[in-house]
A = this chain, B = another copy of it.
């Protein structure tokens, strides 16, 4: 017991040191803290306790869209623009497709290179490590760590459409939905869900054929949605992020959205919802752990699954037995 307590005190001290170093701008300490989040390390508890009072100041910008629309390029252009304004920028590239590989985004090292010597930029990709809760637990924690470390703007970039978009939207203060012409990713296909999460639409690669059609379709879609007095109506920004075209406009629109968030009370509502999601995700993971639900080596679940697969038991009765224990 004494040993354990001593160990725990040592751990607390080590964590306090790491947090202090990260907040003082040391990128290595910051990277180590985020790895703790990514791996759902037990050491994350004291980290979260330590950073709680310092978070809540960063603006969180979510970037989402199908593969190939140029999310990384838009993120890169935004980073440069914010740096030009003297703001510190963190980038979290969340990859929900890697529960299998545990790998990071390929473009990461390339992107790092441009800002390698700039202490005002921190870029990190995160994959789901297969632990209970996955990115729904670890991404908000990484975000809070970057926030506490004093970054003014944090860009959260995600791959793919669907659930991942929803999760990014729930993390971000402002969500950019990025589209590009000629992606086969027609507005019609994308319609369900996209209008609801987009605070700003970015039509990237707008020097290419078909860009005007994408803008026009978006405009029609936005016009058809009901916006009440005082609602935020998502603007459309035409951009060629590769050459920086349209990025000043985008920064302006983001500023306008930020102002609206504060004025309308929506910022508080979104951040409250974010905290609710985060607590829920941790609580659910804890409950699963406690019951052994979904954990490998849970023979009770295996037995029940065998009965369900054989048609001897229905899944509801199986779940009842599992949660009764």
Contact = CB atoms under 8 A, between A and B. Distances in A.
Contacts of A294: 276-277, 280, 284
A68 interface: yes
B276 A95 contact: no
Contact of A67 (B44, B189, B279, B302): B189
Interface string A191-206: 1111011000000000
B163 A98 contact: no
A292 to B, nearest CB: 10
A193 B99 contact: yes
A314 B276 contact: no
Contacts of A314: 45, 48-49, 51-52
A67 B163 contact: no
Nearest to A288: B284
Interface stretch (A22-30, A114-122, A258-266, A317-325): A317-325
Given A193-B97, A280-B294, A318-B279, A54 B272 contact: no
Interface string A163-192: 111100000000000001011111011111
A96 interface: yes
A53 B308 CA distance: 9
A253 interface: no
Interface stretch (A100-108, A227-235, A236-244): A100-108
A20 interface: no
Contact of A186 (B54, B68, B164, B180): B68
A301 to B, nearest CB: 6
Nearest to A159: B162
A54 B194 CA distance: 39
A275 B315 contact: yes
Nearest to A169: B100
Contacts of A44: 316
Contact of A160 (B101, B162, B284, B290): B162
17 contacts: A52-B308, A66-B67, A67-B185, A68-B185, A97-B161, A97-B165, A106-B189, A127-B192, A161-B162, A274-B309, A276-B294, A279-B308, A280-B288, A280-B294, A280-B301, A284-B293, A290-B323
